[in-house]
Amino acid sequence: MRTATVLAAYLLAGGPLVAQSPGTAIRDALRSLTHGWGGCSTEPEPMPVSIAYFPTVHFFRDECIREHGDPTSALVGLDSDSVLYLLQSPSALKFLVNRHPPVGRDSANTLHYARLSLEMAGAIPHQALLVLGATDLPSEASACVQAYAWTSSWYPDSLQQIQLVVRQPVFRGWVIRRIRLLMVQGWAGITADERLWPSEDPC
């Protein structure tokens, strides 16, 4: 599947170029992120999404099943300058954050924002869930996985270390991943990504 990370601006008003409607541009953007080799075959169905950290950007998400049965998702944003954000890479997230610094982040929502940033960077699908304790794990994995999400002390706009453990659906099951990242000014960079379960090593 092609993972396009192009950041494009569409002329939605009249001008020397022939304009596309926002609906067409958004569908094309979602299709570029989910279709292709090994990707989804169904047509995108854009769902409007409100993300409080970026109140001036309109977001749209599509969810579908890839060729081999794994669920996936794509997220795009459109701002008042008609800039279209294809949120599938760390550079796409950084571009969004540079143009629209996130608002309302604090110590209470650090893990929530960090999980969202991983989705916007294309590291996890929307369907991935945070593992905050043993009750968030599948019963067959609870004896094997002893790591949960945590974060370092909160200092606004300062470098912060975060560990997320996510439960990600795959064809006929789940994968548990431990992802460590550094967060600064709303932008996240992954420093480690490890599959905890299923594992080749016995528990």
Contact 46, 30 (CB under 8 A): yes
CA distance 70 to 66: 5
Is the pLDDT at 11 greater than 80? The verdict is no
Residue with tokens 């596309």: 20
CA distance 120 to 153: 23
Question: Which structural domains are found in the chain, ordered by start?
Answer: 1-103 (no CATH), 104-203 (3.10.450)
**pLDDT category of residue 57 using cuts at 50, 70 and 90:** very high
- Quick one: pLDDT at residue 103? 95
DSSP 55-66: TTEEEEEEEEEB
Is the pLDDT at 42 greater than 50? The verdict is yes
Tell me the per-residue pLDDT of 93-132, one tens digit each, with 9 for 90 and over. 999 999 999 999 988 999 999 999 999 999 999 999 999 9
- Quick one: pLDDT at residue 14? 36
Measured over the CA atoms of residue 111, residue 115, residue 120 and residue 122, the dihedral's sign is positive
Closest-CA residue to 119 (of 65, 159, 77): 77
Is the pLDDT at 28 greater than 80? The verdict is yes
Q: Rounded to two decimals, what is the model's pTM?
A: 0.84
Angle between helix 110-120 and helix 90-99 axes, rounded to 10 deg: 120
pLDDT-above-90 percentage for the chain: 63
Report the pLDDT averaged over residues 186-195: 93
**pLDDT category of residue 39 using cuts at 50, 70 and 90:** confident
Is the pLDDT at 169 greater than 70? The verdict is yes
